[in-house]
């Protein structure tokens, strides 16, 4: 089965997340865009969704690659760069975009669509919870979780004279041989 790549409309087809500087203009364009009617607002939501989807996919792939090869420092640095340098820059812009949406005069009209009503309710919750001081804490927490994962992945035990990772050794917990399980 091959993954289907969705056609981009807001971002260039081959655009990649490399630095905050090449990402920032897309957030600024969304923030400064005039939304004069429902069609403008709906297009703005689509463009924002495309941008956020690409960022979430990028973060996901960096995480997957890093966790598949926990000894590869380059993959680890690539993930940590995203967490430490890009995500903290995105957070205030995301909050500003959230505010732009909930303060728009046509917001209540959008809420008549049940799917959008749930999204708007979630965005309102995000706004209520957002604190600028938490951005750095979240980045640090993500990096600590990564460090824990790296340490955990490197841990091994000896079973029947073979060195196994904890993941491999966990299979023995299913064994019917009590002595092996203990």
- Give the domains, in start order, of the chain with CATH numbers: 20-155 (1.20.140)
Count of residues making up the chain:
182
Q: Angle CA(132)–CA(91)–CA(129) in degrees, nearest 5? A: 55
**Residue range 2-46, pLDDT digits in tens:** 777 778 899 999 899 999 999 999 999 999 999 999 999 999 999
Residue 70, pLDDT > 90, answer no
76: exposed, middle or buried (C-beta count within 10 Å: 0-12, 13-18, 19+)? buried
Give 143's pLDDT tier (boundaries 50, 70, 90): confident
Give 101's pLDDT tier (boundaries 50, 70, 90): very high
């Amino acid at each position: 089965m091959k993954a289907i790549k969705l056609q981009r409309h807001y971002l260039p087809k081959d655009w990649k997340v490399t630095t905050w500087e090449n990402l920032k203009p897309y957030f600024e364009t969304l923030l400064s865009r005039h939304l004069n009617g429902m069609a403008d607002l709906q297009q703005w939501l689509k463009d924002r969704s495309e941008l956020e989807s690409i960022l979430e996919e990028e973060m996901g792939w960096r995480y997957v690659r890093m966790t598949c090869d926990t000894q590869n420092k380059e993959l680890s640095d690539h993930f940590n760069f995203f967490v430490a340098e890009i995500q903290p820059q995105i957070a205030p812009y995301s909050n500003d975009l959230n505010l732009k949406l909930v303060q728009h005069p046509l917001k209540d009209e959008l809420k008549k669509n049940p799917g959008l009503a749930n999204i708007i309710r979630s965005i309102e919750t995000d706004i209520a919870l957002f604190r600028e001081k938490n951005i750095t804490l979240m980045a640090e927490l993500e990096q600590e979780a990564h460090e824990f994962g790296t340490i955990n992945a490197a841990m091994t035990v000896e079973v029947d004279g073979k060195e196994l990772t904890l993941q491999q050794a966990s299979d023995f917990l299913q064994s019917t041989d009590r002595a092996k399980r203990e």
